[in-house]
Chains A and B, each alone.
Chain A
Protein backbone atom coordinates (compact mmCIF):
# COMPACT_ATOMS: atom_id res chain seq x y z
CA UNK A 1 0.00 0.00 0.00
CA UNK A 2 1.21 3.49 -0.82
CA UNK A 3 0.87 6.46 1.51
CA UNK A 4 -2.01 7.84 -0.54
CA UNK A 5 -3.92 4.59 -0.24
CA UNK A 6 -3.35 4.50 3.51
CA UNK A 7 -4.69 8.06 3.85
CA UNK A 8 -7.74 7.22 1.71
CA UNK A 9 -8.52 4.06 3.68
CA UNK A 10 -8.25 5.79 7.06
CA UNK A 11 -10.41 8.69 5.81
CA UNK A 12 -13.15 6.44 4.45
CA UNK A 13 -13.32 4.39 7.62
CA UNK A 14 -13.33 7.45 9.86
CA UNK A 15 -16.11 9.27 7.95
CA UNK A 16 -18.40 6.23 7.99
CA UNK A 17 -17.86 5.51 11.65
CA UNK A 18 -18.28 9.16 12.64
CA UNK A 19 -21.57 9.51 10.74
CA UNK A 20 -22.98 6.36 12.36
CA UNK A 21 -21.97 7.50 15.86
CA UNK A 22 -23.36 11.02 15.54
CA UNK A 23 -26.35 10.74 13.18
CA UNK A 24 -27.95 7.30 13.70
CA UNK A 25 -29.00 7.67 17.35
CA UNK A 26 -30.22 11.19 16.75
CA UNK A 27 -32.50 10.12 13.88
CA UNK A 28 -33.87 7.24 16.00
CA UNK A 29 -34.65 9.70 18.80
CA UNK A 30 -36.47 11.94 16.34
CA UNK A 31 -38.50 9.43 14.29
CA UNK A 32 -38.31 6.11 16.14
CA UNK A 33 -37.85 2.96 14.08
CA UNK A 34 -38.57 4.86 10.83
CA UNK A 35 -35.60 7.08 11.65
CA UNK A 36 -33.45 3.97 11.87
CA UNK A 37 -34.52 2.92 8.38
CA UNK A 38 -33.82 6.41 7.03
CA UNK A 39 -30.39 6.37 8.68
CA UNK A 40 -29.74 2.87 7.31
CA UNK A 41 -30.40 4.06 3.78
CA UNK A 42 -28.50 7.33 4.06
CA UNK A 43 -25.36 6.32 5.96
CA UNK A 44 -24.38 2.75 4.93
CA UNK A 45 -25.89 3.20 1.46
CA UNK A 46 -23.98 6.35 0.60
CA UNK A 47 -20.81 5.29 2.38
CA UNK A 48 -20.82 1.85 0.75
CA UNK A 49 -20.85 3.57 -2.64
CA UNK A 50 -17.96 5.85 -1.64
CA UNK A 51 -15.96 3.17 0.20
CA UNK A 52 -16.47 0.09 -1.98
CA UNK A 53 -18.74 0.87 -4.93
CA UNK A 54 -17.26 3.55 -7.20
CA UNK A 55 -14.19 2.96 -9.33
CA UNK A 56 -11.89 5.20 -7.29
CA UNK A 57 -13.14 3.86 -3.94
CA UNK A 58 -11.73 5.01 -0.63
CA UNK A 59 -11.06 1.70 1.17
CA UNK A 60 -8.36 0.00 -0.89
CA UNK A 61 -8.08 -3.78 -0.52
CA UNK A 62 -4.39 -4.65 -0.19
CA UNK A 63 -4.91 -8.42 -0.18
CA UNK A 64 -7.30 -11.16 -1.18
CA UNK A 65 -9.26 -11.29 2.10
CA UNK A 66 -12.18 -8.86 1.96
CA UNK A 67 -12.01 -6.21 4.70
CA UNK A 68 -15.50 -4.76 5.03
CA UNK A 69 -16.13 -1.18 6.13
CA UNK A 70 -18.31 -2.63 8.92
CA UNK A 71 -15.11 -3.10 10.95
CA UNK A 72 -14.78 0.68 11.22
CA UNK A 73 -18.24 1.17 12.66
CA UNK A 74 -17.88 -1.80 15.01
CA UNK A 75 -14.67 -0.46 16.55
CA UNK A 76 -15.87 3.16 16.46
CA UNK A 77 -19.13 2.48 18.32
CA UNK A 78 -17.27 0.41 20.96
CA UNK A 79 -14.74 3.18 21.64
CA UNK A 80 -17.30 5.97 21.65
CA UNK A 81 -19.56 4.16 24.14
CA UNK A 82 -16.52 3.32 26.27
CA UNK A 83 -15.66 7.04 26.40
CA UNK A 84 -19.25 7.80 27.41
CA UNK A 85 -18.99 5.43 30.37
CA UNK A 86 -19.77 1.92 29.10
CA UNK A 87 -18.21 -0.96 31.04
CA UNK A 88 -16.19 -3.52 29.04
CA UNK A 89 -16.65 -6.28 31.63
CA UNK A 90 -20.45 -6.15 31.42
CA UNK A 91 -20.32 -6.49 27.62
CA UNK A 92 -18.14 -9.63 27.62
CA UNK A 93 -21.07 -11.99 26.94
CA UNK A 94 -22.04 -9.99 23.86
CA UNK A 95 -18.41 -9.90 22.73
CA UNK A 96 -18.20 -13.68 23.06
CA UNK A 97 -21.41 -13.92 21.03
CA UNK A 98 -19.83 -11.78 18.29
CA UNK A 99 -16.78 -14.03 18.08
CA UNK A 100 -18.83 -17.24 18.07
CA UNK A 101 -21.26 -15.89 15.46
CA UNK A 102 -18.35 -14.70 13.31
CA UNK A 103 -16.89 -18.22 13.29
CA UNK A 104 -20.25 -19.94 12.67
CA UNK A 105 -21.33 -17.40 10.04
CA UNK A 106 -17.99 -17.46 8.28
CA UNK A 107 -18.07 -21.24 8.11
CA UNK A 108 -21.67 -21.26 6.81
CA UNK A 109 -20.74 -18.75 4.10
CA UNK A 110 -17.99 -21.04 2.78
CA UNK A 111 -20.37 -23.97 2.20
CA UNK A 112 -21.25 -24.27 -1.46
Chain B
Protein backbone atom coordinates (compact mmCIF):
# COMPACT_ATOMS: atom_id res chain seq x y z
CA UNK B 1 0.00 0.00 0.00
CA UNK B 2 1.64 3.22 -1.08
CA UNK B 3 0.61 6.78 -0.50
CA UNK B 4 0.16 8.89 -3.59
CA UNK B 5 -0.44 12.62 -3.70
CA UNK B 6 -1.27 14.38 -6.91
CA UNK B 7 -2.25 17.98 -7.23
CA UNK B 8 -2.67 18.60 -10.95
CA UNK B 9 -2.77 22.18 -11.98
CA UNK B 10 -5.98 22.12 -14.00
CA UNK B 11 -5.33 25.43 -15.70
CA UNK B 12 -1.81 24.51 -16.77
CA UNK B 13 -2.91 21.09 -17.95
CA UNK B 14 -5.69 22.66 -19.95
CA UNK B 15 -3.30 25.12 -21.56
CA UNK B 16 -0.84 22.39 -22.46
CA UNK B 17 -3.54 20.23 -23.99
CA UNK B 18 -5.10 23.13 -25.90
CA UNK B 19 -1.89 24.66 -27.17
CA UNK B 20 -1.55 24.80 -30.92
CA UNK B 21 1.79 23.37 -32.09
CA UNK B 22 2.56 26.42 -34.20
CA UNK B 23 2.00 28.81 -31.34
CA UNK B 24 -1.13 30.28 -32.90
CA UNK B 25 -4.29 30.93 -30.95
CA UNK B 26 -5.91 27.60 -29.95
CA UNK B 27 -8.77 26.38 -32.11
CA UNK B 28 -12.20 25.51 -30.70
CA UNK B 29 -11.19 21.88 -31.02
CA UNK B 30 -8.00 22.54 -29.12
CA UNK B 31 -9.84 24.31 -26.35
CA UNK B 32 -12.38 21.50 -26.15
CA UNK B 33 -9.57 18.97 -25.91
CA UNK B 34 -7.92 21.10 -23.29
CA UNK B 35 -11.01 21.21 -21.15
CA UNK B 36 -11.66 17.50 -21.57
CA UNK B 37 -8.11 16.50 -20.66
CA UNK B 38 -8.04 18.87 -17.70
CA UNK B 39 -11.35 17.54 -16.39
CA UNK B 40 -10.53 13.91 -17.01
CA UNK B 41 -6.83 13.20 -17.40
CA UNK B 42 -6.09 9.56 -18.31
CA UNK B 43 -5.25 8.51 -14.76
CA UNK B 44 -8.64 9.76 -13.61
CA UNK B 45 -10.53 8.24 -16.51
CA UNK B 46 -8.88 4.84 -16.20
CA UNK B 47 -7.39 4.73 -12.73
CA UNK B 48 -5.17 1.93 -11.47
CA UNK B 49 -5.30 3.02 -7.86
CA UNK B 50 -8.12 3.92 -5.52
CA UNK B 51 -8.44 5.23 -1.97
CA UNK B 52 -7.89 2.60 0.68
CA UNK B 53 -11.39 3.11 2.11
CA UNK B 54 -12.93 1.62 -1.06
CA UNK B 55 -12.94 -1.83 0.44
CA UNK B 56 -16.41 -3.36 0.28
CA UNK B 57 -18.20 -5.67 -2.10
CA UNK B 58 -21.00 -3.14 -2.31
CA UNK B 59 -18.81 -1.05 -4.62
CA UNK B 60 -19.01 -3.79 -7.24
CA UNK B 61 -22.71 -3.17 -7.85
CA UNK B 62 -22.02 -0.12 -10.01
CA UNK B 63 -19.90 -2.19 -12.38
CA UNK B 64 -22.44 -5.04 -12.23
CA UNK B 65 -25.17 -2.57 -13.25
CA UNK B 66 -23.12 -1.45 -16.25
CA UNK B 67 -22.40 -5.06 -17.20
CA UNK B 68 -26.10 -5.95 -17.08
CA UNK B 69 -26.94 -2.84 -19.11
CA UNK B 70 -24.45 -3.89 -21.77
CA UNK B 71 -26.15 -7.30 -22.03
CA UNK B 72 -29.58 -5.64 -22.17
CA UNK B 73 -28.41 -3.51 -25.10
CA UNK B 74 -26.68 -6.37 -26.91
CA UNK B 75 -29.64 -8.76 -26.57
CA UNK B 76 -32.02 -5.97 -27.59
CA UNK B 77 -29.88 -5.34 -30.66
CA UNK B 78 -30.17 -8.99 -31.66
CA UNK B 79 -33.96 -8.84 -31.22
CA UNK B 80 -34.02 -5.66 -33.31
CA UNK B 81 -32.04 -7.35 -36.09
CA UNK B 82 -34.83 -9.87 -36.62
CA UNK B 83 -37.84 -7.66 -35.89
CA UNK B 84 -40.46 -7.60 -33.13
CA UNK B 85 -42.31 -10.78 -34.15
CA UNK B 86 -39.27 -13.05 -34.41
CA UNK B 87 -39.08 -14.21 -30.82
CA UNK B 88 -42.70 -15.43 -30.87
CA UNK B 89 -42.02 -17.96 -33.63
CA UNK B 90 -38.40 -18.99 -33.11
CA UNK B 91 -36.81 -20.89 -30.25
CA UNK B 92 -33.58 -18.96 -30.82
CA UNK B 93 -35.58 -15.73 -30.73
CA UNK B 94 -37.28 -16.82 -27.50
CA UNK B 95 -33.86 -17.46 -25.96
CA UNK B 96 -32.64 -13.99 -26.87
CA UNK B 97 -35.86 -12.54 -25.49
CA UNK B 98 -35.15 -14.45 -22.26
CA UNK B 99 -31.63 -13.01 -22.19
CA UNK B 100 -33.15 -9.56 -22.67
CA UNK B 101 -35.64 -10.16 -19.85
CA UNK B 102 -33.21 -11.61 -17.31
CA UNK B 103 -30.49 -9.06 -17.99
CA UNK B 104 -33.14 -6.39 -17.39
CA UNK B 105 -34.16 -8.01 -14.11
CA UNK B 106 -30.54 -8.18 -12.97
CA UNK B 107 -29.88 -4.64 -14.22
CA UNK B 108 -32.60 -3.31 -11.92
CA UNK B 109 -31.53 -5.49 -9.01
CA UNK B 110 -27.92 -4.33 -9.23
CA UNK B 111 -28.94 -0.72 -9.81
CA UNK B 112 -31.27 -0.61 -6.80
CA UNK B 113 -28.58 -2.11 -4.52
CA UNK B 114 -26.10 0.42 -5.96
CA UNK B 115 -28.54 3.28 -5.37
CA UNK B 116 -29.28 2.32 -1.76
CA UNK B 117 -25.59 1.80 -1.05
CA UNK B 118 -24.84 5.28 -2.40
CA UNK B 119 -27.69 6.66 -0.31
CA UNK B 120 -26.25 5.06 2.81
CA UNK B 121 -22.87 6.63 2.01
CA UNK B 122 -24.48 10.04 1.31
CA UNK B 123 -22.50 9.85 -1.88
CA UNK B 124 -23.56 13.34 -2.97
CA UNK B 125 -21.13 14.97 -0.53
CA UNK B 126 -18.24 17.03 -1.81
CA UNK B 127 -19.41 18.31 -5.21
CA UNK B 128 -20.96 14.98 -6.09
CA UNK B 129 -24.57 16.16 -6.22
CA UNK B 130 -24.64 15.99 -10.02
CA UNK B 131 -23.40 12.41 -9.81
CA UNK B 132 -26.36 11.54 -7.59
CA UNK B 133 -28.88 13.43 -9.74
CA UNK B 134 -27.75 11.82 -13.01
CA UNK B 135 -27.76 8.40 -11.36
CA UNK B 136 -31.34 8.78 -10.12
CA UNK B 137 -32.43 10.15 -13.50
CA UNK B 138 -30.86 7.13 -15.20
CA UNK B 139 -32.83 4.91 -12.79
CA UNK B 140 -36.15 6.70 -13.43
CA UNK B 141 -35.74 6.70 -17.21
CA UNK B 142 -34.71 3.05 -17.10
CA UNK B 143 -38.08 2.31 -15.49
CA UNK B 144 -39.84 4.04 -18.39
CA UNK B 145 -37.66 2.15 -20.87
CA UNK B 146 -38.45 -1.20 -19.30
CA UNK B 147 -42.13 -0.28 -19.14
CA UNK B 148 -42.27 0.41 -22.88
CA UNK B 149 -40.52 -2.91 -23.40
CA UNK B 150 -43.29 -4.68 -21.56
CA UNK B 151 -45.79 -2.82 -23.76
CA UNK B 152 -43.99 -3.93 -26.93
CA UNK B 153 -44.13 -7.68 -26.30
CA UNK B 154 -47.22 -8.27 -28.49
CA UNK B 155 -48.59 -10.86 -26.10
CA UNK B 156 -51.14 -11.00 -23.28
CA UNK B 157 -48.80 -9.28 -20.84
CA UNK B 158 -48.41 -6.25 -23.08
CA UNK B 159 -52.17 -6.14 -23.75
CA UNK B 160 -53.04 -6.25 -20.09
CA UNK B 161 -50.34 -3.87 -18.91
CA UNK B 162 -51.20 -1.30 -21.57
CA UNK B 163 -54.94 -1.34 -20.90
CA UNK B 164 -54.31 -1.02 -17.17
CA UNK B 165 -51.56 1.60 -17.41
CA UNK B 166 -53.52 3.85 -19.73
CA UNK B 167 -55.77 5.03 -16.87
CA UNK B 168 -52.89 6.35 -14.79
CA UNK B 169 -51.17 8.02 -17.71
CA UNK B 170 -54.40 9.43 -19.14
CA UNK B 171 -55.26 10.87 -15.72
CA UNK B 172 -52.12 13.01 -15.85
CA UNK B 173 -52.97 14.35 -19.31
CA UNK B 174 -49.85 12.71 -20.78
CA UNK B 175 -51.96 10.02 -22.42
CA UNK B 176 -53.10 12.53 -25.01
CA UNK B 177 -49.58 12.52 -26.45
CA UNK B 178 -48.05 9.29 -25.18
CA UNK B 179 -50.48 6.52 -26.09
CA UNK B 180 -49.56 3.25 -24.39
CA UNK B 181 -52.06 1.42 -26.62
CA UNK B 182 -50.16 2.44 -29.76
CA UNK B 183 -47.70 -0.39 -30.33
CA UNK B 184 -45.71 1.47 -32.99
CA UNK B 185 -45.21 4.52 -30.78
CA UNK B 186 -44.21 2.46 -27.73
CA UNK B 187 -41.78 0.29 -29.72
CA UNK B 188 -40.01 3.36 -31.10
CA UNK B 189 -39.74 4.86 -27.63
CA UNK B 190 -38.43 1.55 -26.33
CA UNK B 191 -35.73 0.92 -28.91
CA UNK B 192 -34.69 4.46 -29.89
CA UNK B 193 -35.63 7.42 -27.73
CA UNK B 194 -35.50 6.10 -24.17
CA UNK B 195 -32.34 3.97 -24.56
CA UNK B 196 -30.61 7.05 -25.98
CA UNK B 197 -31.58 9.06 -22.90
CA UNK B 198 -30.58 6.25 -20.52
CA UNK B 199 -27.25 5.97 -22.34
CA UNK B 200 -26.73 9.72 -22.09
CA UNK B 201 -27.37 9.87 -18.34
CA UNK B 202 -25.40 6.71 -17.61
CA UNK B 203 -22.50 8.11 -19.63
CA UNK B 204 -22.55 11.44 -17.81
CA UNK B 205 -22.93 9.62 -14.49
CA UNK B 206 -19.90 7.40 -15.11
CA UNK B 207 -17.77 10.35 -16.25
CA UNK B 208 -18.78 12.29 -13.14
CA UNK B 209 -17.84 9.31 -10.97
CA UNK B 210 -14.43 9.29 -12.62
CA UNK B 211 -14.07 13.06 -12.30
CA UNK B 212 -15.21 13.44 -8.70
CA UNK B 213 -14.14 10.05 -7.44
CA UNK B 214 -15.63 7.82 -4.78
CA UNK B 215 -17.02 9.76 -1.85
CA UNK B 216 -14.80 9.64 1.26
CA UNK B 217 -16.19 8.25 4.53
CA UNK B 218 -17.85 10.38 7.17
CA UNK B 219 -15.53 11.57 9.86
CA UNK B 220 -15.24 9.01 12.65
CA UNK B 221 -17.71 10.24 15.26
CA UNK B 222 -16.41 7.71 17.78
CA UNK B 223 -12.98 9.26 17.71
CA UNK B 224 -11.97 12.25 19.78
CA UNK B 225 -13.94 15.41 18.90
CA UNK B 226 -12.63 16.84 15.68
CA UNK B 227 -11.41 20.34 15.19
CA UNK B 228 -13.75 22.90 13.69
CA UNK B 229 -13.72 22.69 9.93
CA UNK B 230 -14.76 24.90 7.08
CA UNK B 231 -15.82 24.27 3.53
CA UNK B 232 -15.26 26.26 0.40
CA UNK B 233 -18.17 27.86 -1.40
CA UNK B 234 -18.37 25.10 -3.98
CA UNK B 235 -18.56 22.46 -1.27
CA UNK B 236 -15.60 20.74 -2.85
CA UNK B 237 -13.67 20.10 0.24
CA UNK B 238 -13.06 20.89 3.81
CA UNK B 239 -9.97 21.42 5.80
CA UNK B 240 -9.26 21.22 9.43
CA UNK B 241 -8.73 24.45 11.28
CA UNK B 242 -5.29 25.79 10.56
CA UNK B 243 -4.98 23.75 7.39
CA UNK B 244 -5.19 25.28 3.93
CA UNK B 245 -8.51 25.09 2.12
CA UNK B 246 -8.25 22.50 -0.60
CA UNK B 247 -10.39 23.71 -3.46
CA UNK B 248 -9.12 22.19 -6.65
CA UNK B 249 -6.70 20.04 -4.75
CA UNK B 250 -7.84 16.56 -5.41
CA UNK B 251 -6.12 13.24 -5.30
CA UNK B 252 -5.67 10.96 -8.27
CA UNK B 253 -9.13 9.51 -7.66
CA UNK B 254 -10.84 12.88 -7.65
A and B form one complex: no
- B residues contacting A by CB (< 8 A) are none
- A residues contacting B by CB (< 8 A) are none
